[in-house]
Amino acid sequence: MYVANRASDKITQLTDNVYVCRSGSAADSQVVSDYVRYFLHQHTIQLGQPATVKVAANLVRSLSYNNKDMLQTGLIVGGWDKYEGGKIYGIPLGGTIIEQPFTIGGSGSSYLYGFFDQAWKEGMTKEEAEQLVVKAVSLAIARDGASGGVVRTVIINSEGVTRNFYPGDTLPLWHEELEPQNSLLDILNTSSPEPMNM
Protein backbone atom coordinates (compact mmCIF):
# COMPACT_ATOMS: atom_id res chain seq x y z
CA MET A 1 0.00 0.00 0.00
CA TYR A 2 1.66 3.22 -1.18
CA VAL A 3 2.75 5.90 1.31
CA ALA A 4 1.42 9.07 -0.26
CA ASN A 5 2.98 11.40 2.30
CA ARG A 6 5.70 10.30 4.71
CA ALA A 7 5.68 13.52 6.73
CA SER A 8 2.10 14.70 6.86
CA ASP A 9 0.83 17.11 9.48
CA LYS A 10 -2.27 15.62 11.05
CA ILE A 11 -2.65 18.27 13.73
CA THR A 12 -4.66 21.10 12.27
CA GLN A 13 -5.42 24.47 13.76
CA LEU A 14 -9.07 25.47 14.19
CA THR A 15 -8.48 28.67 16.18
CA ASP A 16 -5.55 30.20 18.07
CA ASN A 17 -6.38 28.05 21.07
CA VAL A 18 -8.03 24.92 19.60
CA TYR A 19 -6.48 22.23 17.43
CA VAL A 20 -7.82 19.01 15.95
CA CYS A 21 -6.04 15.67 15.43
CA ARG A 22 -7.20 14.02 12.22
CA SER A 23 -7.39 10.29 11.44
CA GLY A 24 -9.08 8.09 8.90
CA SER A 25 -9.81 9.53 5.49
CA ALA A 26 -7.54 12.53 4.93
CA ALA A 27 -10.00 14.15 2.55
CA ASP A 28 -12.92 13.79 4.97
CA SER A 29 -10.98 15.08 7.97
CA GLN A 30 -9.60 18.00 5.96
CA VAL A 31 -12.99 19.11 4.72
CA VAL A 32 -14.53 18.84 8.20
CA SER A 33 -11.64 20.91 9.62
CA ASP A 34 -12.11 23.47 6.88
CA TYR A 35 -15.82 23.92 7.61
CA VAL A 36 -15.25 24.11 11.36
CA ARG A 37 -12.45 26.66 10.91
CA TYR A 38 -14.80 28.73 8.78
CA PHE A 39 -17.66 28.55 11.30
CA LEU A 40 -15.40 29.24 14.26
CA HIS A 41 -13.96 32.28 12.54
CA GLN A 42 -17.41 33.79 12.22
CA HIS A 43 -18.38 32.67 15.71
CA THR A 44 -15.30 34.38 17.17
CA ILE A 45 -16.13 37.64 15.41
CA GLN A 46 -19.70 37.52 16.69
CA LEU A 47 -18.74 36.43 20.21
CA GLY A 48 -15.95 39.00 20.51
CA GLN A 49 -13.59 36.60 22.25
CA PRO A 50 -11.86 33.27 21.58
CA ALA A 51 -14.17 30.32 21.04
CA THR A 52 -14.25 27.64 23.73
CA VAL A 53 -12.96 24.13 23.12
CA LYS A 54 -16.45 22.78 23.78
CA VAL A 55 -18.01 24.88 21.03
CA ALA A 56 -15.33 23.82 18.55
CA ALA A 57 -15.80 20.18 19.51
CA ASN A 58 -19.57 20.37 19.16
CA LEU A 59 -19.25 21.88 15.68
CA VAL A 60 -17.05 18.97 14.71
CA ARG A 61 -19.55 16.56 16.27
CA SER A 62 -22.42 18.13 14.39
CA LEU A 63 -20.74 17.61 11.01
CA SER A 64 -19.59 14.11 11.92
CA TYR A 65 -23.00 13.03 13.18
CA ASN A 66 -25.14 14.53 10.45
CA ASN A 67 -22.94 13.11 7.70
CA LYS A 68 -22.23 9.80 9.39
CA ASP A 69 -23.18 7.78 6.32
CA MET A 70 -20.55 9.51 4.18
CA LEU A 71 -17.67 10.39 6.48
CA GLN A 72 -14.96 8.05 7.62
CA THR A 73 -12.86 10.08 9.99
CA GLY A 74 -12.08 9.97 13.71
CA LEU A 75 -11.18 13.31 15.25
CA ILE A 76 -9.76 14.56 18.52
CA VAL A 77 -10.40 18.19 19.43
CA GLY A 78 -8.07 19.65 22.03
CA GLY A 79 -7.36 23.12 23.30
CA TRP A 80 -7.38 25.62 26.10
CA ASP A 81 -9.89 28.29 27.03
CA LYS A 82 -10.19 30.58 30.02
CA TYR A 83 -13.40 28.99 31.32
CA GLU A 84 -12.51 25.31 31.48
CA GLY A 85 -8.74 25.28 30.99
CA GLY A 86 -7.29 22.43 28.95
CA LYS A 87 -9.90 20.06 27.51
CA ILE A 88 -9.93 17.09 25.14
CA TYR A 89 -12.93 15.78 23.22
CA GLY A 90 -12.87 12.51 21.28
CA ILE A 91 -15.20 12.31 18.28
CA PRO A 92 -15.00 8.81 16.79
CA LEU A 93 -16.85 7.41 13.76
CA GLY A 94 -20.58 7.95 14.09
CA GLY A 95 -20.29 11.34 15.76
CA THR A 96 -20.34 10.44 19.44
CA ILE A 97 -18.71 13.18 21.52
CA ILE A 98 -16.87 12.25 24.70
CA GLU A 99 -14.77 14.44 26.96
CA GLN A 100 -11.73 12.63 28.31
CA PRO A 101 -8.57 13.40 30.27
CA PHE A 102 -6.62 11.69 27.52
CA THR A 103 -7.57 9.90 24.33
CA ILE A 104 -6.11 7.94 21.42
CA GLY A 105 -7.27 7.42 17.87
CA GLY A 106 -6.31 6.26 14.41
CA SER A 107 -5.20 2.86 13.19
CA GLY A 108 -2.03 2.78 15.31
CA SER A 109 -4.03 3.41 18.46
CA SER A 110 -4.98 -0.28 18.64
CA TYR A 111 -1.48 -0.94 19.90
CA LEU A 112 -1.62 1.76 22.54
CA TYR A 113 -4.60 0.86 24.71
CA GLY A 114 -2.53 -1.29 27.03
CA PHE A 115 0.32 1.22 27.05
CA PHE A 116 -1.89 4.07 28.17
CA ASP A 117 -3.83 1.98 30.67
CA GLN A 118 -0.52 1.47 32.39
CA ALA A 119 1.42 4.66 31.70
CA TRP A 120 -1.08 7.51 31.92
CA LYS A 121 -1.35 9.22 35.30
CA GLU A 122 -3.41 12.13 36.52
CA GLY A 123 -1.54 15.43 36.99
CA MET A 124 1.48 14.94 34.71
CA THR A 125 3.65 17.94 33.97
CA LYS A 126 3.97 19.40 30.50
CA GLU A 127 7.34 17.69 29.99
CA GLU A 128 6.10 14.29 31.26
CA ALA A 129 3.02 14.51 29.08
CA GLU A 130 4.95 15.36 25.95
CA GLN A 131 7.43 12.55 26.56
CA LEU A 132 4.52 10.17 27.01
CA VAL A 133 2.85 11.04 23.72
CA VAL A 134 6.11 10.90 21.78
CA LYS A 135 6.85 7.48 23.27
CA ALA A 136 3.31 6.36 22.49
CA VAL A 137 3.38 7.44 18.86
CA SER A 138 6.77 5.86 18.40
CA LEU A 139 5.43 2.56 19.79
CA ALA A 140 2.52 2.76 17.39
CA ILE A 141 4.89 3.40 14.49
CA ALA A 142 6.81 0.27 15.48
CA ARG A 143 3.76 -1.96 15.03
CA ASP A 144 1.33 -0.18 12.72
CA GLY A 145 2.12 -0.30 9.03
CA ALA A 146 -0.03 2.75 8.47
CA SER A 147 2.02 4.87 10.88
CA GLY A 148 5.50 6.22 10.43
CA GLY A 149 7.79 9.01 9.41
CA VAL A 150 7.81 11.78 11.97
CA VAL A 151 6.19 12.64 15.27
CA ARG A 152 4.59 16.04 15.64
CA THR A 153 3.38 17.46 18.93
CA VAL A 154 1.40 20.57 19.80
CA ILE A 155 1.22 21.91 23.34
CA ILE A 156 -1.65 24.31 24.10
CA ASN A 157 -2.04 26.10 27.41
CA SER A 158 -2.72 29.51 28.92
CA GLU A 159 0.65 30.75 27.70
CA GLY A 160 0.01 29.85 24.07
CA VAL A 161 0.86 27.17 21.56
CA THR A 162 4.14 25.30 20.95
CA ARG A 163 4.77 23.01 18.00
CA ASN A 164 7.49 20.35 18.14
CA PHE A 165 8.96 18.06 15.53
CA TYR A 166 10.70 14.71 16.08
CA PRO A 167 12.16 13.18 12.93
CA GLY A 168 11.76 9.37 12.64
CA ASP A 169 15.45 8.73 13.14
CA THR A 170 15.50 10.46 16.55
CA LEU A 171 12.86 8.20 18.10
CA PRO A 172 13.70 5.40 20.56
CA LEU A 173 14.21 1.88 19.24
CA TRP A 174 11.95 -0.95 20.33
CA HIS A 175 11.99 -4.75 20.12
CA GLU A 176 13.94 -6.18 17.19
CA GLU A 177 14.76 -2.69 15.88
CA LEU A 178 18.43 -2.03 15.21
CA GLU A 179 20.50 1.11 15.37
CA PRO A 180 20.49 2.56 11.82
CA GLN A 181 23.84 2.46 9.98
CA ASN A 182 25.11 4.24 6.91
CA SER A 183 26.49 1.01 5.47
CA LEU A 184 27.48 -2.59 6.22
CA LEU A 185 31.00 -1.51 5.45
CA ASP A 186 31.07 0.59 8.60
CA ILE A 187 30.10 -2.43 10.68
CA LEU A 188 32.78 -4.57 9.09
CA ASN A 189 35.44 -1.95 9.60
CA THR A 190 34.75 -1.40 13.30
CA SER A 191 34.87 -5.08 14.23
CA SER A 192 38.16 -7.09 14.53
CA PRO A 193 39.93 -7.92 11.24
CA GLU A 194 38.97 -11.62 11.25
CA PRO A 195 37.38 -13.23 8.25
CA MET A 196 33.60 -13.64 8.39
CA ASN A 197 32.12 -17.14 8.84
CA MET A 198 29.77 -17.70 5.96
Partner 1 sequence: MDSKMQQHGLLGSESDSQRTLYPYVTGTSVVALKYKDGILMAADMGGSYGSTLRYKTVERMKAIGKHSLLGASGEISDFQEILRYLDELILYDNMWDDGNSLGPKEVHNYLTRVMYNRRNKFNPLWNSLVLGGVKNGQKYLGMVSMIGVNFEDNHVATGFGNHLARPILRDEWHENLSFEDGVKLLEKCMRVLLYRDRSAVNKLQIAKITEEGVTISPPYSLKTFWGFSAFHNPTVGAEGSW
Q: Which residues contact 129 (CB under 8 A, 6 or more apart)?
A: none
CB of 26 to partner 1, least distance (A): 15
101 SS3 class = coil
Question: Inter-axis angle of helices 53-66 and 26-47, to 10 degrees?
Answer: 130
Q: What is the DSSP string of 119-155?
A: H--TT--HHHHHHHHHHHHHHHHHH-TT--SEEEEEE
For residue 98, state whether it binds partner 1 (rule: CB under 8 A): yes
Binder among 11, 93, 124, 132 for partner 1 (CB under 8 A): 93
For residue 97, state whether it binds partner 1 (rule: CB under 8 A): yes
CB of 73 to partner 1, least distance (A): 11
Site size for partner 1, by CB under 8 A? 16
CB of 84 to partner 1, least distance (A): 17
CB of 70 to partner 1, least distance (A): 8
For residue 100, state whether it binds partner 1 (rule: CB under 8 A): yes
Query: Which of 20, 136, 24 minimizes the C-alpha distance to 87?
Result: 20
Please give the Cα distance from 119 to 130 (Å, whole number): 13
Residue span 51-90 as binding mask against partner 1, x where in contact by CB under 8 A, dash where not: --------------x--xxx-x-----------------x
For residue 119, state whether it binds partner 1 (rule: CB under 8 A): no
For residue 38, state whether it binds partner 1 (rule: CB under 8 A): no
Angle value at C-alpha 84, between 24 and 13, nearest 5 degrees: 35
Residues 124-183 that bind partner 1 (CB under 8 A): none
- Chain centroid, CA 162 distance in Å: 14
Residues that bind partner 1 (CB under 8 A): 65, 68-70, 72, 90, 92-98, 100, 110, 113
